[in-house]
Amino acid sequence: MTTDKPTIGITLGDPNGIGPEVVIKALADNRIFNLFTPVVYGSTRVISFYKKQLNAEEFNYSQTKPDTPFFPKSVNVVNCWEEPVEITPGTASKAAGKCALLSLKKAVSDLKTGTIQALVTAPIDKNTIHNDEFPYHGHTEYLTQEFNAGESLMLLTGNELKVGLVTEHVPVKEIARHITRDRIELKIRLLEMSLKQDFGIQKPKIAVLSLNPHAGDGGLLGSEENEIIKPVITDLKTKGKLIFGPFPADGFFGSGQHTKFDGILAMYHDQGLVAFKTLDFSNGVNYTAGLPIVRTSPDHGTAYAIAGKNMADENSMRQAIYLACDIAKQRQPAKQTT
């Protein structure tokens, strides 16, 4: 089995958001080079701008030339565009969105060739990056298609809990029609597989949340629990899976039941993320489970309101990098030949 340090790719995200700031802060400690080789996809001009603005004298980097090896004891920066782009912290712009997309595309290209072993994505602005080349709601959908995964699982991980979503960026009025037996079973399978493969939990115990208040209250507040969710759980239990529920979300988190499970499956975005960000926000990492590659992201957005003000907390980015490194190493043995 190889003991080589993984090479971790990190995109800068929107150059006018807090992405560059949290990347610089997270990579400023030279001890990271004992764990992995960092490769930042973006622009040396953007890095230089924010390094000066943050007065981050302890942060050093090396520009990587095309078709040359990465420096193992340095933060490597790959320039993903040539033309000068105005950097205006806190301002949304199509130019910044274009830069974010160029960074992402180059990183994905290197991920496909094995040049990097994992990808960490800094936040993008879905409005400025959205165009004919990127008709997606976010990174998750884009990467799922790029790597021909068919389906993936948005999995929020932290010190306290791991929460997967049945539906992700879906308007609330449309959620119910996406709650099907096949979809729930698929998401449970992806969650279980990731807990085993990526987190080393051999027999994961999974809780499934309800869709309706009070888990439908016996059908008075909705039929999805009795007709869709419970039958899936019952069927999986007969196959020896440790799947439980459906639990009403308010009582489940309010009573601390989340501490008894290795993973939790929420029916929709805010049901899972409100609890997750309340309990584990500073350590929160967004992991895209079910892909043939490793991708993580900090659990926050571009935060334009504080961009360029040296106010951003880099801990979520740091945890996203460490998790990408851990999962890349966790997956290594499966790829070795005897």
Q: Note whether 121 and 193 are same-domain residues.
A: no
Residue whose token pair is 């009582």: 251
Residue 200: pLDDT above 70?
yes
Q: Are the CB atoms for 325 and 296 separated by under 8 Å?
A: no
Q: Note whether 274 and 306 are same-domain residues.
A: no
Contacts of 330 (CB under 8 A, 6+ apart): 197, 198, 199, 200
| DSSP classification of residue 257 | G
The mean pLDDT of the chain is 93
Q: Note whether 52 and 78 are same-domain residues.
A: yes
pLDDT tier for residue 333 given thresholds of 50, 70 and 90: low
Q: Please give the pLDDT value at position 239.
A: 96
Rg (CA), the chain: 21
Residue 299: pLDDT above 50?
yes
Q: Please give the pLDDT value at position 138.
A: 87
Dihedral angle of Cα 184, 189, 194, 199, to the nearest 10 degrees: 100
Q: Please give the pLDDT value at position 302.
A: 96
Q: Note whether 131 and 220 are same-domain residues.
A: no
Residue 1: pLDDT above 50?
no
Mean pLDDT of all residues in 237-250: 96
| pLDDT tens by residue, 252-291 | 999 999 999 999 999 999 999 999 999 887 788 999 999 9
Return contacts of 51-60, CB within 8 angstroms, 24+ apart.
51/24, 53/89, 53/308, 53/310, 54/21, 54/24, 54/25, 54/310, 56/24, 56/25, 56/28, 58/28, 59/24, 59/25, 59/27, 59/28
Q: Please give the pLDDT value at position 336.
A: 46
Q: CA 164, CA 181: separation in Å to the nearest integer?
A: 16
| pLDDT tens by residue, 90-148 | 999 999 999 999 999 999 999 999 999 999 999 999 999 998 889 988 898 999 999 99
Residue 78: pLDDT above 60?
yes
Q: Note whether 211 and 113 are same-domain residues.
A: no
pLDDT tier for residue 181 given thresholds of 50, 70 and 90: very high
CATH number at residue 130: 3.40.718.10
Q: Please give the pLDDT value at position 219.
A: 87
Domain of residue 265, residue span: 152-288
How much of the chain, in percent, has pLDDT values that exceed 70? 97
Q: Note whether 144 and 263 are same-domain residues.
A: no
Indicate the pTM of the whole model.
Answer: 0.91
Residue 205: pLDDT above 80?
yes
The residue out of 251, 271, 288 marking a domain boundary is: 288
Tokens linked to 253: 């988190």
Q: Please give the pLDDT value at position 2.
A: 42
Q: Are the CB atoms for 142 and 168 separated by under 8 Å?
A: no
